Structure 1
Amino acid sequence: MDSALTTVALPIALGLIMFGLGLSLTPDDFRRVAKAPRAVGVALACQLVLLPLVCFGLVKLLDLDPLLAVGMMLLAASPGGTSANLFSHLFRGDVALNVSLTAVNSVISVVTLPLITNFAIDHYDLGETVTLPFSEVLQVFAIVLVPVLIGMLVRARSPKFGERMDRPVRIGSAVVLAVLVTAILIDQRENMREYLLDVGLVAGLFCAISLVVGYVVPRVAGVDEKQAIASSMEIGVHNATLAIYVAVEVLDDIAISVPAGVYSLFMFAFATLWGLLLTTRLVRTPQRA
């Protein structure tokens, strides 16, 4: 899929999404991390350690094709997406925690994403096919962090503009992701039935596990319900746009982007169903007792 969509539109779209994220951030969001160390620590441990291990176990257990397995690990290494904030807001989560987690994890992922992805590449002995050299790491760093910093600067100078653009940017992010997923499905339409059979089960299971683990583990660790809901959405709603960008532009293999596209099909549906379950049953039950 080496076209204007991927070489021009995809980097621009990702940059705009990250710029929109920056518009929702202030330095206080990073300081807030220190005020909720348990919630942040547990969520980051789930997202950076537990979920990649779960993902690796799934791709091995179900004997996934090596390129699709690398794509799943790339997705698992990607930080939460901007849509996680919207889902958290809809289902009574701590949106401020979401913003903080997204900000912190987006910075950390500059290091962890290439580490986890290269682990998968080395494990499947694909070094001669796809690589993630330091120059490409810098490219990911630039496309992720520079727009965020610019967005934060714009918000600092014009807070009202940042607040006014928050909703349109979140909606735009979902639209952009839908367009990217549709483009991938169309480009790979001849292989899509096979891809869905190969990676659909893994993607669906990983999405469901991510959402449930993101809620249950923090609750067991003593995190309150609103923060646990935020954690669940942050961990379950990945930045699939970033995963697609790295797969197509950095690793130069459309097959590696397929898991992110398939995951997105499950992500929004499962996050909605899980959020409804949390707000109508799991969260309310203790309140009636």
Structure 2
Amino acid sequence: MEAFLDYLLPFSIAVIMFGIGLGLTISDFKRVLVAPKAVVFGLFGQLIMMPLIGFGIAFAFDLDPIYQLGVVLIAACPGGTSSNIVTFMLKGRVALSVSMTAFNSFLIILTIPLILDLAFNLFWTSTKEISLSMLDTFKEVTFTVFLPVLVGLVVRHYYPNFVQKLRIPLRYILPGIMFLVFLLVLINEQGSGDKSVLEYWELLLPALCLNVLVMMVGFITSGFARIDHAGKYTIAIEMGLQNSALAIFLANNVIQIDGLSLIAVLYGGFSFFTTLIIGWLLKKYAQKREIISG
């Protein structure tokens, strides 16, 4: 199973990121130049605030170093296609969500190696030597994230009619691929460890705190930046739904430490539903405030 996952994970990530690329257009990037505030603030939230919150939670909870690294790892990953789906379901600013996903998917080739390097310097106290090359991490993220997104963007540009036919099926196919990845990793972790993944209840609280806290911080701080109500809960959704499949891939195929992917597996198992619920509550709160202020 483990050898199979070594090939399945990078392929699955590439397919998911290719699917994200198919949902992008050149205008998504031009939009930042026309109305950059919401996208720039959202990227600041994901690239700066989220990792800082991740480091804070890792310090605050009495966790083993491997799980502290896991918290930071999931916080360092970008939003995925699921955030676009939840934004669509809640009638948020889908273009903003897609633009944030697009830019973040490119920028993480620089940010993830830096964040992981800092996390290892802070948390990794084991005598086991881990060789984490920033250059190798950069290459892995480039080939599994950057290039698939770029190819998807090109295909969308030159074959828009074909891609239009795929849009509805992709809403189900891409989350389905993510679910398959979580399921296979879950089976593999249960087969290789002393305990079932479901027995790691102590990891659920820090993972849930990360999910809730980043959404609340994103929502509140974007209000200070005078971003509209729909933009506020869209940014919150984008920050709450990380690309857990990418975190699992980095943990198992790049860093290769047993147990590092557990946080990502747990986070991916509940975050879609909790983000949907919290996003709905934030939307209702935003609408009520809009009515009162109007």
Shorter-chain TM range is: over 0.9
Structure 2 counterpart of 1:24? 23
The question of whether the paired residues in 1 share the 8 Å contact of 2:117 and 2:134 is answered with no
Q: Which of 270, 285, 289 in structure 1 is aligned with 2:288?
A: 285
Match of 2:278 among 268, 274, 278: 274
* Residue 243 (str. 1) matches residue 247 (str. 2): yes
Q: By how many angstroms is 1:17 displaced?
A: 0.7
Cross-structure match for 2:224: 220
Equivalents in 1 of 2:199, 2:75: separation in Å?
A: 18
What displacement does 1:130 show?
4.7
Q: Which moved more, 1:37-46 or 1:67-76?
A: 37-46
Count, aligned residues: 287
What pairs with 1:41-56 in structure 2 (closer than 5 Å)?
Answer: 41-56=40-55
Per-residue CA distance 1:104-151 (angstroms, 9 max, x = gap): 111111010111011111112358225134133212211101111111
Q: What residue number does 1:180 align with?
A: 181
Query: Structure 2: any 5+ residue segments left out of the alignment?
Result: none
Cα gap change, 1:112 to 1:133, in 2 (>3 Å): closer
Name 2:266's counterpart in structure 1.
Answer: 262
In structure 2, what residue type is equivalent to 1:36?
Answer: A
Pairing 1:111–2:110 present: yes
- The within-5 A match list for 1:1-289 is 2-4=2-4, 6-125=5-124, 128-189=129-190, 190-192=194-196, 196-279=200-283, 281-289=284-292
Q: Tell me, what secondary structure is at the counterpart of 1:253?
A: coil
Query: In structure 1, how many angstroms separate the alpha carbons of the residues matched to 2:278 and 2:185?
Result: 26
Where does the alignment leave 5 or more consecutive residues of structure 1 unmatched?
Answer: none
Deviation at 1:224, TM superposition (A): 0.3
| TM-score w.r.t. length of structure 1 | 0.93
Query: 1:288 Cα shift?
Result: 3.6
Q: Which amino acid aligns with 1:135?
A: D
TM normalised by structure 2 equals 0.92
CA contact (8 A) 1:121 1:130 kept: no
**Distance apart, 1:195 and its partner CA:** 6.2
Whether the aligned pair in 1 keeps the contact of 2:22 and 2:149 (CA below 8 Å) is yes
Q: 1:183 to 1:130 in 2, by over 3 A?
A: farther
Residue 193 of structure 1, CA deviation: 5.3
Q: Percent identity?
A: 32
Paired residues of 1:22 and 1:149 also in contact (CA < 8 A): yes
Residues 54-106 of structure 1: per-residue CA shift (max 9 Å, x gap) = 11111111121111111111111101111111111111211111111111111
1:67/1:195 Cα in 2 relative to 1: closer, same or farther (>3 Å)?
farther
* Contact map agreement 1:225 1:283 (CA 8 A) in 2: yes
Please, what is the CA RMSD of the aligned residues?
A: 1.8
Between 1:105-114 and 1:6-15, the stretch displaced more is: 6-15
Give the superposition deviation at 1:287: 4.3
Give distance in 2, aligned partners of 1:287 and 1:49: 28
User: Which one-letter code corresponds to 1:215 in the other structure?
Assistant: F
TM-aligned CA distance change 1:267 to 1:130, over 3 Å: farther
